Structure 1
């Protein structure tokens, strides 16, 4: 987690001088974000959200700016960016980039209802319709999820950790990457890649906005669908997996089938996307493995269990479970 910056009233007044947003009245740090610094600011002209990027390059933030402006032109429900006096959308303060967003009213729900979950799935599908084939300027400054990036980040993790366990885990990781089938013809576009409850707003029970495109990147278009489905029983989680035996049946495709069916109501998947959702889902697990590379013994750890269960199930059975009649 990046260290948060404590912004002063003087700092915010200096930043607001670059905008046509009135004078600062009050400000309040927002605590839900785990990486960047977010602050709700009230001025004489309204309420806005100031975001200070603790761990992103200017190129990465410009990618996000270009993406959000594209989405707003398509009337997608996400907070828009405010233009500064120079006509730009991204500024620099103390050598770090920042942006000011529209403030959207709503609530973050830890336990959305089934109807609200369906609303999210619909908005995810609509996002992929808008971004299919779309590659914003500055895409090269993002971690664009692919086999090559996964391999590169895994090697970096091993170099950082420097243990025998990490080196052995890398061997397993490389073997699993090698058997993924991800045809070059699979559609790509921009995916959000982080549907944590703190990034979704509801108001009066209705979907209001998708927030925080900090992890968005150009990748397989089904990557977001892969992050929404869960082909495992609910009790099989990162903190409970060790309570199960390796040969226990922990796969249950009913929920995943429901999510895929709901998604398909709004964006039809090609046969190739259906066939290789198995591989995209496994790729998402391998990226989770990278974020927690130090966690677990190489002989048996959470992501290895998940991949093992899927390998035993197989691509065809996965396809039948999600897309069969």
Structure 2
């Protein structure tokens, strides 16, 4: 989360008139993150109780793209998934516009980010992701990944001249291997996926998972690929190696909610490599761009994970 677009008190008060949730007490920009502008907003209701909200302004997504996320988060929340969902105004409209950007007002869910991840944390996020996927398999809208296979192919070619010969070849190889996987007659389960469920997109309250945040990379994709993204973040040691206890807890808990299908056992070793490649590539692009205004995250972290996944092939339990 971050602040790219400044919001004034009068901006907020004008927006809040539509919602009738109470009087504005305070608001504060949220630092961190990469893509969107976020504010904590405190309101006082008619009962004189203060309530906390999050206002998000979308810097990259346009108005035409937003209904997918409005409907998906509402769909998931209605099915018990701990995700923030947009409030609707007195006219039943959740999607607003502020400073020519799509905007949503959502509840501020309780909890804090966890840095020292344990097997218990991984067990909880595994079960929650299984629930997310089960709820999203029959979601009635579809969306192509913003940074999917066609993006990987194009960007890996464009960035190749800025890389060592070895790294450029590594990227090309992983893109090709995923394309070969897609051609297999495996009929891997697909549905709505989170697409970015790193541990800083989850909250825990008293060591219990309380929220899954930042659904705005969600799309229609392989459910197992989404799980691979989680495994490559929640279960990784600083050197890029995998903590087997944490990964076992993650995968076992997920399997208990959404049992793995036969062909997913075949696809898993490649999908964890693909997930590592995708985030290595998306971090390389701004890191190698001298004109970027994006917050830089270390691409080497995911290169190490990719090399570890190649050296030690993964397996589902």
Q: Tell me the TM-score normalised to structure 2 length.
A: 0.80
Q: Which string of whole-angstrom CA distances, capped at 9 and with x for unpartnered residues, describes residues 64-101 of structure 1?
A: 11110111221211122100233221111121110000
Q: Tell me which of 211, 215, 219 is aligned to 1:213.
A: 215
Change (3 A) 1:86 1:78: same
- C-alpha contact (below 8 Å) 2:122/2:250 kept by paired residues: no
- C-alpha contact (below 8 Å) 2:203/2:210 kept by paired residues: yes
Determine whether 1:268 maps to 2:263: no
Q: Which string of whole-angstrom CA distances, capped at 9 and with x for unpartnered residues, describes residues 34-90 of structure 1?
A: 331211222232332111112222233322111101112212111221002332211
Determine whether 1:107 maps to 2:112: yes
Secondary structure at the counterpart of residue 228 of structure 1: helix
Query: Partner residue of 1:283?
Result: 274
Comparing 254-263 with 48-57, greater Cα deviation is found at 254-263
Determine whether 1:259 maps to 2:250: yes
Cα distance between partner residues in 1 of 2:174 and 2:200? 32
Residue 171 (structure 1) shift: 4.6
Change (3 A) 1:205 1:24: same
Q: Cα RMSD over matched residues?
A: 3.0
Residue 268 (structure 1) shift: 0.5
- C-alpha contact (below 8 Å) 2:201/2:214 kept by paired residues: yes
Residue 311 (structure 1) shift: 4.0
Q: Tell me which of 237, 251, 255 is aligned to 1:234.
A: 237
Cα distance between partner residues in 1 of 2:307 and 2:135? 35
Query: Partner residue of 1:17?
Result: 17
Secondary structure at the counterpart of residue 29 of structure 2: strand
Residue 203 (structure 1) shift: 2.0
Query: Partner residue of 1:165?
Result: 163
List runs of 5+ in structure 1 lacking aligned partners.
Answer: 238-249
Residue 25 (structure 1) shift: 2.2
Q: Which string of whole-angstrom CA distances, capped at 9 and with x for unpartnered residues, describes residues 5-33 of structure 1?
A: 22110111111122222332222222244
- C-alpha contact (below 8 Å) 1:2/1:55 kept by paired residues: no
List runs of 5+ in structure 2 lacking aligned partners.
Answer: 46-50, 289-299
Secondary structure at the counterpart of residue 50 of structure 1: strand
- C-alpha contact (below 8 Å) 1:144/1:219 kept by paired residues: no
- C-alpha contact (below 8 Å) 1:230/1:256 kept by paired residues: no
Change (3 A) 1:167 1:15: farther
- C-alpha contact (below 8 Å) 1:121/1:259 kept by paired residues: yes
Q: Which string of whole-angstrom CA distances, capped at 9 and with x for unpartnered residues, describes residues 158-215 of structure 1?
A: 3xxx845378754542233223323361111122132334321222332211111122
Cα distance between partner residues in 1 of 2:121 and 2:44? 35
Change (3 A) 1:228 1:66: same
Cα distance between partner residues in 2 of 1:198 and 1:178? 30
Aligned residues: 295
